[in-house]
Amino acid sequence: MRPVLVLVPIAGPPQQPAPPARHMGLSYPSLPPGYQNTSASPMHHPMQAQTQPYSHLSAGPAQLSPSLAGLSLQSQTPETLRVVNLLQERNLLPPGPVTPPTPCLPQDLQKINCHPEVFRSTLTSIPQTQSLLNKAKLPLGLLLHPFKDLSQLPVVTSSTIVRCRSCRTYINPFVTFLDQRRWKCNLCYRVNDVPEEFMYNPVSRSYGEPHKRPEVQNATIEFIAPSEYMLRPPQPAVYLFVLDVSHNAVETGYLDVVCQSLLENINALPGDSRTKIGFISFDSTIHFYNLQEGLAQPQMLIVSDIEDIFLPTPDSLLVNLNECKELVQDLLKSLPQMFGKTMETQSALGPALQAAFKLLSPTGGRVSVFQTQLPKLGVGALKSREDPNQRASAKDIPNLSPATDFYKKLALDCSGQQVAVDLFLLSSQYCDLASLACISRYSAGSVYYYPSYQQQHNPAGVECFQKDLKRYLTRKIGLEAVMRIRCTKGLSIHTFHGNFFVRSTDLLSLPNVNPDAGFAVQMSIEENLVDMQSVSFQAALLYTSSKGERRIRVHTMCLPVVNSLSDIFAGADVQAITGLLASMAVDRSVTSSLSDARDAMTNASIDSLTSYRTSVLTIQQPGLLAPACLKLFPLYILALLKQKAFRTGTSTRLDDRVFAMCQLKYQPLAYVMLMIHPALYRVDDLTDEWILLNRQMDNMNTINCNPDFLTQVLGVPDYAAVPQNMNILPELDTAESQRTRAFVGWLREQRPFFPILHVIRDESPLKASFMQNMIEDRTESALSYYEFLLHVQQQVSK
């Protein structure tokens, strides 16, 4: 779902708050200095939420033999287990971010644990046995954001990277030093020797204190790898752009934006002196571009036999960017005009991708594909599978799985040659994203979707595409990467979620890795953890930087082991649970049915609250009871049921639904939660403490705004003068205008995708889209929050 920012001005003066309407907004990131945030509902707890610092970047002193004794939870009932009657207590959301629970570890270990924005578990207290986990009815899994942009990252250059000789775990803050010369692995418990080089601490320039080395003081760290971590010389950054130039594509005007953006950012592409670049365009034929140094101008070479694709001049289609920059710039300046009058309506996407694969196979690299219609020519040709008349009425949605295995098979071939494919889909018509997305999913690429892109008629969409493209072209990139997730003996990984190819049980192949990619894994307990006080998880990402360095980024997390259901519930991370369930529901929708996935999500909340009621509560009370840590769980499940990926009874285009599913699977948890449960802010009075007024007026949920807001921020004299399609805030010389634009800018900076701003009038067609985010409200096809709670209570009480 394309993120949006919405301002909703309402006719009439501000009014006093009516009794609370049933609305629910979402958690949101910390505000910039000088701003305050409120909950998106009048039902929020006045408790101040605390934002955790990036703890692992400033670790405290480690002990030579860190003791894990005394890991039992507090004897008194922790806040996370406070009993909440959801049918009565409506002040649920805190005024700030919903913070993850803190694992119950000794203080010296807790403050160096991996930051939850990078690595977190659905349960911060791990059950001793699988049977205990089954009894809790909560999913066990990990959520990762392994290549996240970090403001600080400890980097170690060493000829010796210390790892366990048995399980190959990287030394980390949670190992045990038996003495200065021996350390015990925290995953397999093997005792290893400390190498001589590790005795010297490069930070303090002291000798004989291996437990004070950076590797043992930081749960997130990056190594510059020595030569034994290279199977071949590090891959150069190689960028290939594959452009749809059919009549439909030219009509959208996207080619102008792509070429102009490349011209503006060509010197900011990540890389070094070895960086290569190339271009392919296609309609019913495939066009290559000879950019060999020494040519007066680029040469277009056309291959019309799309059944047997070949490279006309293999050595001059991918060229060194620095050496051939002028020719590349000439091509970018002329490309939009070259096809300006084309009458070619066909799209041979499959053959174009085959050509791209042939071209990049020797080196590996990144393919950026721009497509504007359903491909109907050559291999990979598709037919329309959507019946618009069935969008709203069908309980189960057909055609969520691919129509052909061509794109998956090609993606796996690409992955084997270290080629990732990113897909930009710009179309107002059905394009069968369920099939096309496979080319990115299995090659560790990304999917971008612009469903109503048109340069002349949708300037806001153009700005969105421009901003996304700039970030895409200039963000850091990791090449020829693999990621392995290890865990303490007794735990096992059984399902991965994200965009990748699983090369072996615990190894993900990532031809490219980017800072906006998230991953999730499901876990089980294969052997009882009875003798363990804690377990550890380690994710190691081995990649080549755009500068040609082989690097290893390692994240390690330590969690306590518990033997009681109450301790398991006390450590439940409701947002991580929701994010993992969303990925699982996407899989269930595709492999089984949408209704099956919806039932599974509803049952997840029913089952966990039933377990809590029957096995944890000592005193039975009437109502729907939840521990405080899970008080938002039914709300988040209802939000998922109303999310574009899973909703029924509302007209939802198939490609829109599939794209929402793609996002739930490969975005980091922070962005997934903004999709599931969007943030609401009051912006018409940013100087005072914000209160979002949820009023009932003519059975419509409205947000009243100060009349001065219309003149001082929107630049119109009254409500009637607000334009119907307003997407840009005017730059007015008022304090209110400057504050609002700064705030909107800050909101946009929080996301990797550029959100479109809509100023929505009460009678606007876009109002329906806005109201979809009012999770608590009843719609024609979905229960209100209170009705959903009654349904859950009925099932729990059976």
With a cut of 70, list the residues of the chain below it in pLDDT. Answer: 1-76, 392-394, 687-705
500 and 616 share one domain: no
651 and 713 share one domain: no
Say how many domains are in the chain.
4
pTM for the full model?
A: 0.89
Report pLDDT for 700.
Answer: 26
> Burial of 688 by CB count in 10 Å (0-12 exposed, 13-18 middle, 19+ buried)?
exposed
Helix (H) or strand (E) run with residue 83 in it: strand 83-85
The whole-angstrom distance between residue 203's C-alpha and the CA centroid of its chain comes to 35
Check which CATH number belongs to the domain holding 581 and give it. Answer: 1.20.120.730
547 and 662 share one domain: no
712 and 761 share one domain: yes
Report pLDDT for 704.
Answer: 53
Separation between Cα atoms, residue 54 and residue 771, nearest integer Å:
36
Amino acid of residue 235: Q
Report pLDDT for 439.
Answer: 98
Separation between Cα atoms, residue 59 and residue 47, nearest integer Å:
28
CB 97 within 8 A of CB 27: yes
Report pLDDT for 118.
Answer: 97
**Tens-place pLDDT, residues 523-580:** 999 999 998 999 999 999 999 999 999 999 999 999 999 999 999 999 999 999 999 9
252 and 137 share one domain: no
Residue 68 within a domain? no
Residue 25 within a domain? no
Residue 541 sits at φ, ψ, to 5 deg, of: -110, 110
Helix (H) or strand (E) run with residue 319 in it: strand 319-320
Give the tokens for residue 633: 């769980």
416 and 334 share one domain: yes
144 and 251 share one domain: no
The percentage of the chain sitting over the pLDDT mark of 90, rounded to a whole number, equals: 68
685 and 759 share one domain: yes
662 and 629 share one domain: yes
Separation between Cα atoms, residue 536 and residue 526, nearest integer Å:
15
Check which CATH number belongs to the domain holding 396 and give it. Answer: 3.40.50.410
Which of 451, 474, 497 terminates a domain? The answer is 474
Q: List the domain range (segments joined by +) for residue 509.
A: 119-231+478-572
CB 537 within 8 A of CB 557: yes
Report pLDDT for 185.
Answer: 97
Report pLDDT for 226.
Answer: 86
Strand order in the sheet with 491-497: 119-121, 141-144, 519-525, 491-497
CB 521 within 8 A of CB 495: yes
CB 229 within 8 A of CB 542: yes
Residue 103: which of 45, 171, 174 has the closest Cα?
Answer: 174
Report pLDDT for 609.
Answer: 97
CB 759 within 8 A of CB 7: yes
Separation between Cα atoms, residue 351 and residue 219, nearest integer Å:
46
Please report the DSSP string for 20-66 in residue order: PPS------PPPPTT-----SSTT---PPP-PPP-GGGS--PPPSS-
173 and 248 share one domain: no
Residue 525 within a domain? yes
412 and 377 share one domain: yes
Residue 374 within a domain? yes
Which of 550, 572, 594 terminates a domain? The answer is 572
Report pLDDT for 76.
Answer: 58
Check which CATH number belongs to the domain holding 563 and give it. Answer: 2.60.40.1670
Q: Provide the 3-class DSSP secondary structure of residue 400.
A: coil
Give the tokens for residue 253: 């005007």
Check which CATH number belongs to the domain holding 689 and give it. Answer: 3.40.20.10
Strand pairing partners for 157? 224
Residue 276 sits at φ, ψ, to 5 deg, of: -120, 155
Give the tokens for residue 371: 């497509």
Question: 3-state SS of 692-756?
Answer: CCCEEECCEEECCCCHHHHHHCCCCCCHHHCCCCECCCCCCCCHHHHHHHHHHHHHHHCCCCCCE
> How many helices (H) and strands (E) would you count in the chain?
21, 31
Report pLDDT for 762.
Answer: 87
* Residue 735 CB neighbours (<10 A): 11
How does 537-574 read in b/e, with b if 16+ C-beta sit within 10 Å?
A: bbbbbbbbbbebebbbbbbbbbbbbbebbbbbbbbbbb
Which of 572, 597, 620 terminates a domain? The answer is 572
Give the HSE-up count for residue 296: Cα atoms under 13 Å, Cβ half-sphere: 0
Residue 97 within a domain? no
Residue 386 sits at φ, ψ, to 5 deg, of: -105, 135
Separation between Cα atoms, residue 553 and residue 544, nearest integer Å:
11
Report pLDDT for 422.
Answer: 98
Residue 26 within a domain? no
Residue 98 within a domain? no
Phi/psi class of residue 109: alpha, beta or left (left: φ > 0; alpha: ψ in -120 to 50)?
alpha
Residue 210 within a domain? yes
395 and 416 share one domain: yes
Contacts of 706 (CB under 8 A, 6+ apart): 14, 684, 685
Report pLDDT for 55.
Answer: 32
